[in-house]
Each structure stands twice: as structure tokens, then as C-alpha cells.
Amino acid sequence: MDDLLREFVTETNESLDVVDVELVRFEQDPNNAKILDNIFRLVHTIKGTCGFIGLPRLEALAHAAETLMGKFRDGLPATNDAVTLILATIDRIKAILDSLEREQREPEGDDADLIADLERMVERIAAPAASQAAGTLADQVLERPLRPGEDSLDDLERAFRETEVEPIVMTPAKPLASGDVAAFDDEASKPANQSIRVTVETLEQLMTMVSELVLTRNQLLEIVRRHEDSEFKTPLQRLSNVTAELQEGVMKTRMQPIGNAWQKLPRIVRDLSNELGKQIELEMHGAETELDRQVLDLIKDPLTHMVRNSADHGLETPEERRALGKPERGRIRLSAYHEGGHIIIQIADDGRGLNTERIKAKAIAQGLATEAEIEKLSEAQVHKFIFVPGFSTAVQITSVSGRGVGMDVVRNNIDQIGGTIDVKSVAGAGLNFIIKIPLTLAIVAALIVEAGGERFAIPQLSVVELVRARSGGEHRIERIKDTTVLRLRDKLLPLARLRHLLGAEHGDVENGFIVVTQVGSQTFGIVVDAVFHTEEIVVKPLSSRLRHIAMFSGNTILGDGSVIMIIDPNGVARAFGSEATSHMRAGEEVEHHQGSAAEQATSLLVFRAGSAQPKAVPLALITRLEEIDARKIELSNGRHMVQYRGQLMPLITPSEKVRVKDEGAQPLLVFSDGSRSMALVVDEIVDIVEDRLDIQVGSDNPGVLGSAVIKGLATEIIDIGHFLPLAFEDWFRRKDQVSRPRPRSVLLIDDSPFFRNMLVPVLQAAGYEVTACASAPEALQLLKDGVAFDVVITDIEMPEMDGFTFAEAVRADPRTADLPVIALSSVVSADSVERGRRAGFYDYVAKFDRQGLIAALKEQTDLGRAA
Amino acid sequence: MSTEPTQSLKEYVTAMIGGQLFGLPILRVQDVFLPERLTRVPLAPAEIAGVLNLRGRIVTLIDMRCLLGLGERKDKTPAMAIGVETRGESYGLLIDSVGEVLKLDDAAREPNPINLDARLARVCAGIHRLEGQLLMLVDVDRVLDVGTASAIAA
């Protein structure tokens, strides 16, 4: 094909894509002269160029469209009909371009129909508003982003400078001249100076060569590592640096924002909402997230397909939505972000969700499973059937989707790039597809470790630190039944032994290296047998036979030529059974109101004491878990004691049925407060679980708050507050007499009896006089009645009146304006802290942060005294 | 491709697996190699012997004895592998030893006997009667699909 023509087709196609998007934006924001100007300019360029190359058919169409748009520019309303007509014209232009590309000439036929429509539209909208003045246009500064396929000259130049190779530079095509050059001279020449077009093959080959170079460099490094004093060391270091930079430059040339794949979606959604009579809002987040070009190409179609599906099947009609109490306008939300060496793309809608029953019926009808098998599957497992080839649940085949080529095609494409797709659906609330794509062919820094005699790579990106654990050393691995934890800077870090995760036999649990890893908000330790070094590795996708293993994200060839597996930190996180994303809320912040503390998952320590029924206590209240030799337990003054860290620690039994052991190891839950510690004697520590703490049945039994269902078992929630005074009562009374002339008084407001019961003894133990209220109005009444307090502690999330309103009310009353108020909340975010500060809180403490609360109290009351 | 087989003659690379003779279409065979520096893959299906680096490519080895239920190898002679490719991925089929290349008439192929072991029937495309023994034709695609299909169903 003629170079000029080829250039024209490429450029025009790109311009048209932009016009598509801009027009939809314009329709929603008809007063934005800037958008309109941009569209006008693009269409004008197309028209001008067509005239120049001699493409009469295109020129006539572009001219007619331009005339109509000229009217918009003169201030006439951009009606839905008019925009639809222009979009139709653009589609026609695209069709002509397609055949132009194939046959190198304009196809036969004419466009009199469209042109006549366009002209009629011009007359129609011009008629009523003929007298309207033309709007003024804002000055236009062109800041065009790089187009798909273009790379910034800087990146390319850097990549090339590092090699001795003659760069293959294509001469930038001369901007096409036209009869009206002056108007868009700057637009045509500016990008040409900043970027050049390079064929994708050139980039691909460059990338392959760089990958080879990296591998060779790694081999050299491996050789030099074995020889201590090598004269190769310095030049090799230099080679290594150059390779790294070269690699980075080349990688950059391949990266493109995912927004490029989303470009067509606003137009598609607009057309669909017209066609289906639904109101649809398309939200796009993270369009700037960069993705390998190859990967981008492959996910473009699946994404489009899924958005269509959401619009067609997912979202209800406005009438249905109104009946369900949902906003009429449905939402489709696309988001993309990086997470632990992967790119996560989510497509969520707030529609009806998957129809589990229909999927079941279809799966049985298609013979994918028997009725008996299906009854055993969880809802999530049933939903996975939509990825099976030929599976479509749409009852009616519409023109939009539901043609039987559905999610299986999507899955296939994603499989090809080594990705995974998952679906979460909540009936009536929405559907969320989560696509996880590894950075294929990417080169990442990884920590090489050993576990069970094999080496593995852990992506450096998710590694926080390395800790050496030794029995008797500073960092000890501690056991709670089958769970191991590490005490690291006053926190209990859950541990998983890589060897066990990978199915090898249990062995030494005391020693090892702990790779502290962070995935999202979750931090945990991966215990490995040895740590070698870090190495830049070329990530290669796993063979499709191995891709289902969640523990691995890929494999790689090391410098010494051996193949090793790359650990997927997300997979490890999931193995802990409490991955952050497992709590999916379709449509995320759309429907769900922020739950109160009781609805949020709490880490609970489950143990047995005195009976077979499990008992539990919030893990955050426990300072330590100990197992002591029963012979060390002494009986003094009728009470069980043990010498612990140079002090006598009283042992308390939760009920008479619990016996302090005479021999063997006695498990203890240690609760500390300042220098005082007490221990609760238990028979057996069972597990640490994450669950909602929802006390369903209260209890009259002292020491038991009530019963809750935890991991499917009725479990007694122990009231630590009951036991603390049993151990301490006489202690702090004596201490108070010495140090505190008058106990300071605290007003505690919390709607949850659990927290009131838990905090009152804690505060009493710390030497405060506590008055507890179940609601903010009740507390305000007390203050109004003139009861004096030194400090107020209040929960934030409460019915009737929340903590913020309460604090404002306290501030507003001159009698209590100076009273320190401390907020207690299960949600501590920068946002809420800021809001709290404005409402007049003196301090903001997390609900389970006992130490923090005592410290804040001490600070406020001491301040009060000093003042 | 340059040979001139009459329409029905096809060439097969023969291989011994657990005392049974198998034939693989020569057009599907990339190379035959001695697997070295094999890396075991934890949590992988039993028939995946491991992965290895073959001239810069990562090759997944499938233990044919395990896949076909022909028992474990007892002798100490090194196993051989036949390299095959599918959809851009490289696989090695672990066999006991590789034999000569045979030209066989497609018309003489017989269907699998109905009482054939399910694991064999799943990957065999038919049987040729040779002098003194039977040769089972291996459908390479089906070998590579076993497992992926079960992975989807899971």
C-alpha cells in the first residue's frame, strides 16, 4: 500500500477513536467548548486530508458531519438524535476506511442517505435557534497524550543509547498538508517531533534480546559469585548496571495505559443504554495503570464483552430498579491497579447478580454435573460454571450479548496470557469479575530462597523485611496448636512455613528465616529454610498444566540455568484463609453501609477450658500466649502463682471445672497491663480464627459475656473484665493509695454491651472511676445534670447519635466545652481522624488498642490536672 | 514434509513406556532429549515430573508411565523425553526409551479395543498390529489436554 495512504488510514482511525469518546463526553457536557473544539478539529483534519489524497466519498461525509458540528459550535443544542447521527456517520467512515485499507481504494456506493439526514438535522436544529449568538471558544492548548503504538522519544533514545547498535529509525512521516494547514499546523508537527513510530516487531525483538542479555548477565554474575577475587568484577558490575537500564528503557516502550483498551467503552455503553432503554453510568478508575502491550491487546475484547454483558444481563431496567429501591441509573465500574506483581482488573456492576438456580439448571441440562453433585457445591463454585465452553444463561438471545460465545471465550483469552478470572456475585446486589494478570515477560527483582530442598523466588515487591528466627534467640517462633506466630515488635505476625504450604512433611518449626511479606493490608511471615540472594529474574508464564496452582505466579530460569518457581504472595495470603479480597462486596461501597464493630471480622483466640464447648476471647486483648512447665506453678496464700519475668503472676481459672495441671505443659493466656500480668489457665488452645463477633445469646454466668457462632460452633465469649479484678483487686487498691489522691472519673459511652463490659474493668484496673452509658443522649443528660467527669471516652458508630455529633454537642455547651473527649473507633482512617479533630476530639484511639487508650487517658487527665 | 508417502502412509516415532510400544506422529515431535536438572513442582498433578530448562525454554515434563498408569520405573537407566509443543508451550513426554521411526499405513489402523484401560483409551488413537507386538498410537493433543480438562472442572 502507498505509504501516504497507510499513514492516513492509521492516523484517521486513531482520530476517530478519539472522536467517539469525546462525542459521548460532549453529549453529557454540552457546554464544554473545549471538548467540542477538539472534536471539530479532528473531523476537520480528516476532511482536509481526504480532499488532499482524493477520497471524495469520505470527504463528503466528513464535510456533512462537520457542518452539523459547526452548528453545535455556534451554540445550538447537541440533541441525542444529532449525536447518534454523527456517531453513525463515524461508523460509516470507519467502514470505508476498512475497505480502503484492504483494497486501497474507496468502496463503491454513496452516502446520500446519511448526508441527507445530516443536512436535515442541520436545518432542524438551526431553525428554532437561528437568532442565537455564537458562543465564544476557549483558547486551545494542545496537550495530546501519546497515541497507542507511540513511545516517547526519550524512552527510546535512552534504550538505544545504552547499546552500540545502530538504531533503526523510521523517518517520521511528514505531516499531511491540506488546504487549511494553518489551523492545525501545531498539532501535526508537535507530536512528530516528540515521538516516532516503530513497528511492534522491532520492539518485540528488542525485548527478546534484552531478556537474553539479562539471562547471560545473570550467568556471568553467578560465575563471578563463586570466585572471590575476580578481575571481572568491576566491568561486570558496569555491564550489570547498563543491562538494568537498557532493560528498563525497553520495558517502558512496551507499556501502555490500560485506558487505551477502555477507549471504546463509553461509546459502547452509550449505544447500549439507548438500545436497551437503561440508564447506565460507566465509571473508570486507574486508566493510567500500565500494562504490557501484548497483554493489553488480548484483554481488550474480553473487557468489552464483559461490559456488554453487565449492561445487557446484569443491570435491570429503570422500572425494575425503582421497584427494588435502587437508583434508576445502573452503574458499571471498571478499575485497574497493581497488586503484588500482578495487575488486577475489576468489572463490577450493581445489577441483579448471577442467577444461581438458572446456572444450576443449565449445568445439569448440559450434563456438566449431576443434581447430586451440584447440591454439594457452594454458590461460588456454581458460579464458576459460566466459564465452561458454550455456557450461556441468557434465556433470550439479544443482539447485544448471549450468543453462546460468552465467558468461556473471555476465560480463554485470559488463560493465554497466564491470567486468572474469578467471579463474585451477590444476588440482587451485583456482580464483580476480578481478572488477575501477571506481568508476563516482565523482569522483576526476586529473593531466592530455599524450602524443602528446592529453591523458589519471592518477588521483592511484596517483601517487607527478613527476620532470622532461632530457638532461644531474639525472635522466636511460637506455636498455638497448629498455628505458628512470630512476636515482632509487639505484634503477633502469623507465619506459614513454605515447605508445608507446598505439601511437604512437617519438620523443624523452631528455626528458619522469616520473609515478612505484605499483600494489600495483610502482613504475614513466610518461613523458609534458607535465603540466598536477590536476582533479577525474567518472569515466564507457567505452563497451562500448572497454572491452577495458586501458590505460584510463574517460573524463571536462574543464572545457573536451573528452572525455579516464583511464589505468588497472594496465593500464600489466601492459604491463610482470610485474604482481604475474599470479603467481596459487589459494587463495593455502593450498597453496603459501613458496618459497626459487631459486623466486622475480629481475630479471636479459640480455646477450651473446663468443658468441650469452645471458648473465645478477642486476640487483641491477649498480650502473650505461654506454655509453662506445670511443676513451676506454686501455691501461695491459696492461689496459684507462677514466677514470670521476675514477678509473681497470679493464675486464674475461668471456672471451677478447670484444673491447673500437675505435670506437663500448662497453656496460659497472659493479660498484661503496665507491669502487672495475670494468666488465665486453659486446657487447650485450639485456633485463631477471623470471624464476626456477634453475641447472640447473653449470659448470666459471671465471666461469660454470652455465646456466639464462631466457625460454625456455638462458642462462649469470655469476659476478661470479670477475671482481671480477681487477680488484681488488692493490688491496685494498694497502689492507688500511694500514688493517687483521687481517682479520676471517666464517662464511657458505647452502644455495645460487649465493649462496655470489656472496657470498664480495663479502665478500673488502670485506676479510673468509670461510669458507663449505652447511648450519647443518655451521656449528655448526665453531663447536663452536672455530674463531673475528668474525661469522656466515646464510641463513634452508634445509633441515635454518633460520636461526632456527641462531641460537637459537648463542645457547644460552655460548661463542658473544655472536657477532653477521646474517640474510640473500630475504623481509624486519616479521614475519620481529621473529621474527629474538627468535631473536637482530643484523641482518636482504635477500639482494641488498650495500651493506646490508657496512654491517651493518662495524657488527657494529666493535662487537665496541670492546667 | 519432503518425503513422498502415499496418502495413507504416516511416520511415527516409536517409544517404549512400561514395556508397551507406542507411536507418536513424527510431525508433532520436536526433538528427543535426556532430561537434566529437573526441578520438581510441588502441588503439581502426579503426572507432572517437573520443569527444566532446554536451551532457554522452560519445558514441562509429563511422566507417561504415571499418566497411563503403567507403574513406576524400576531400572536405573536414564529416562528419555520426547519434546512436543502446543499453543506455544513446550512439553516433554517422559518415556523409557526411544525406538526407530516406522512408516505405517493408516488404513491398517484398528480402533481401541473396548476393554482397554480407561487411562490408555483416553490418549490412544488406535492400534497397529506389528510383527510380534502391538503399537498404540498416541494422540499428543489428548495427552496434553488430560489434566487441563480436570483443572477446569475443579
ipTM: 0.85
Q: Which residues of B touch A381 (CB under 8 A)?
A: none
Number of folded domains in chain B? Answer: 1
Residue B2 falls inside a structural domain: no
Q: Residue B22 domain-assigned?
A: yes
Residue B129 lies in a domain: yes
| Residues from chain A contacting residue B60 (CB–CB below 8 Å) | 543, 545-546
Q: Do A503 and B42 touch (CB under 8 A)?
A: yes
The number of beta carbons lying within 10 Å of the beta carbon of residue A495 is 23
Q: Nearest-5° angle of CA A392, CA A397, CA A403?
A: 55
**Does A452 touch chain B if contact means CB atoms closer than 8 Å?**
yes
Q: Do A503 and B62 touch (CB under 8 A)?
A: no
Cβ count within 10 A of residue A452: 19
CATH number for the domain including B50? Answer: 2.40.50.180
Distance separating alpha carbons of residues A555 and A33, to the nearest angstrom:
52
Cβ <8 Å between B154 and A548: yes
- As a whole number of angstroms, the distance between CA A517 and CA A572 comes to 10
- Is residue B1 domain-resident? no
**pLDDT value of position A848:** 66
Nearest CA in chain A to B151: A548
Per CB-CB distance under 8 Å, the chain B contacts of A561 are: 37, 53
Interface contact flag, B144 A545, Cβ < 8 Å: yes
List, in order of start, the domains of chain A with CATH numbers. Answer: 3-126 (1.20.120.160), 150-257 (no CATH), 259-438 (3.30.565.10), 443-582 (2.40.50.180), 597-725 (2.40.50.180), 740-866 (3.40.50.2300)
Compute the distance between CA of residue B80 and CA of residue B98 in angstroms, rounded to an integer: 7
In a domain, B88, yes or no: yes
Partners of A463 in the β-ladder: A517
Residues of A in contact with B91 (CB under 8 A): 543, 545
Query: What distance in Å separates residue A463's CA from the closest CA in chain B?
Result: 22
User: Is position B153 within any domain?
Assistant: no
Within an 8 Å CB–CB cutoff, is residue A551 touching chain B?
yes
Where chain B has pLDDT below 70, the residues are: 1-7, 75-77, 146-154
Rounded to the nearest 10°, the torsion over CA A235, A237, A241, A242 is: 20
- Cβ atoms of residues A669 and A622 within 8 Å: yes
Q: Which three cell numbers stand for residue A7?
A: 499513514
Task: Chunk chain A into consecutive blocks of 10 residues (it has 867) and report each block's average pLDDT, rounded to whole numbers.
Answer: 71 79 78 77 76 76 80 75 81 82 76 82 67 43 52 59 47 41 41 66 80 82 79 85 83 80 85 85 86 79 84 85 87 84 85 84 80 80 77 50 57 72 84 78 78 88 83 73 75 83 70 82 84 83 84 85 88 63 31 35 79 80 78 80 79 80 82 73 81 68 76 79 67 41 78 75 76 86 83 84 84 81 75 76 75 77 52
CB contact under 8 A, B39 and A563: yes
pLDDT of residue A458: 92
Concatenating the DSSP letter of every residue in A578-615 gives --GGGS--TTTTTTPPPP-GGGSEEEEEEEE-SSSS-E
Residue A509 has a pLDDT of 62
Q: What is residue A688's predicted lDDT score, i.e. its pLDDT?
A: 76
Is B147 in Cβ contact with A549 (below 8 Å)? no
List chain A residues with CB under 8 Å of B44.
545-546, 549
Residue type, B19: G
Asked if residue B154 is part of any domain, the answer here is no
Residue A418 has what DSSP assignment? Answer: T
> What's the angle, vertex CA B116, arms to CA B115 and CA B117, rounded to 5?
115
Kindly state whether A531 is in contact with chain B, defined as any CB-CB distance less than 8 angstroms: no
Which residue(s) pair with A33 in the sheet? none
Task: Residue A790: name the closest of A743, A758, A852 by CA.
Answer: A743
Q: What is the pLDDT of residue B59?
A: 93
User: Do the domain assignments include residue B79?
Assistant: yes
Range of the domain at B114: 9-146
- Show residues of chain B in contact with A543, CB under 8 Å: 51, 58, 60, 89, 91
Do A62 and A46 touch, CB atoms closer than 8 A? yes
Count of C-beta atoms within a 10 Å radius of residue A104: 12
* Window A:363-392, CB contacts with B under 8 Å: 368, 387-388
Contact (CB, 8 A) for A385 and A425:
no
Count CB atoms within 10 A of the CB of residue A625: 22
What would the 3-class secondary structure string for A769-817 be? EEEEECCHHHHHHHHHCCCCCCEEEEECCCCCCCHHHHHHHHHHCCCCC
| Chain A residue nearest residue B36, CA to CA | A562
Q: Where are the beta strands (DSSP E) in B3-133?
A: 9-17, 20-25, 29-33, 48-54, 57-63, 80-86, 89-95, 97-105, 124-129
- Distance from B53 to chain A by nearest Cα, in Å? 6
pLDDT, residue A418, reads: 64
Q: Name residue B78's beta-bridge partners.
A: none
Q: How far is A557 from chain B (nearest CA, A)?
A: 7
CB contact under 8 A, B43 and A502: yes
